[in-house]
């Protein structure tokens, strides 16, 4: 995978603004693998994506629900697989079928737990903490 974009943000607002601009170029069918430690800003990135997709709802982490769906210019499927043990748990629910929706964008937190269920073409969004509010966001395709 090659780096297509990299930015350092100084606040959650800047992280969200970057994600909002990134979302303007999404056309549907994209699968975004959000990577970063707990508290890195993955959900803030999704909040920005939602704004860029014309979604006005409050965005929350689906840690307990596994999946939240939001409707805008495109559907945003936000997944958080932090609490699952293995990919079979996701496959049983059928949530993995949403990764192939051409009218949606899938944003997946903790995707390393379901690698065998992911489409072959995904975009990785790596968010690294550089300080209290400073983040380096690297996008690879």
Q: Which CATH fold would you assign to the domain 3-140?
A: Rossmann fold (3.40.50)
pLDDT tens digit at each of 141 positions of the chain: 898 999 999 999 999 999 999 999 999 999 999 999 988 999 999 999 999 999 999 998 887 789 999 999 999 999 999 999 889 999 999 999 999 999 999 999 999 999 999 999 999 999 999 999 999 999 999
Angle at the Cα of 79 from the Cα atoms of 73 and 84, rounded to 5 degrees: 170
Asked if 109 and 80 touch (Cβ cutoff 8 Å), the reply is: yes
Task: Break the chain into its structural domains and give their ranges.
Answer: 3-140
Asked if 35 and 124 touch (Cβ cutoff 8 Å), the reply is: yes
Say whether pTM exceeds 0.85: yes
Across the beta sheet with 75-80, the strand order is: 3-9, 135-140, 123-129, 31-35, 104-109, 75-80, 67-70
């Amino acid at each position: 995978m090659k780096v297509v974009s990299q930015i350092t943000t100084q606040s959650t607002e800047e992280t969200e603004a970057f994600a909002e601009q990134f979302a303007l170029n999404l056309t549907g069918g994209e699968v975004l693998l959000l990577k970063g430690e707990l508290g890195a800003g993955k959900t803030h990135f999704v909040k920005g994506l939602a704004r860029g997709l014309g979604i006005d709802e409050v965005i929350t982490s689906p840690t307990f629900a596994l999946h939240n769906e939001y409707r805008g210019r495109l559907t945003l499927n936000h997944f958080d697989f932090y609490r699952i043990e293995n990919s079979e748990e996701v496959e049983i629910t059928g949530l993995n079928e949403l990764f192939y929706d051409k009218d949606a964008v899938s944003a997946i937190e903790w995707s390393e737990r379901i690698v065998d269920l992911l489409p072959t073409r995904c975009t990785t969004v790596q968010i690294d903490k550089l300080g209290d509010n400073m983040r380096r966001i690297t996008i690879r395709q």
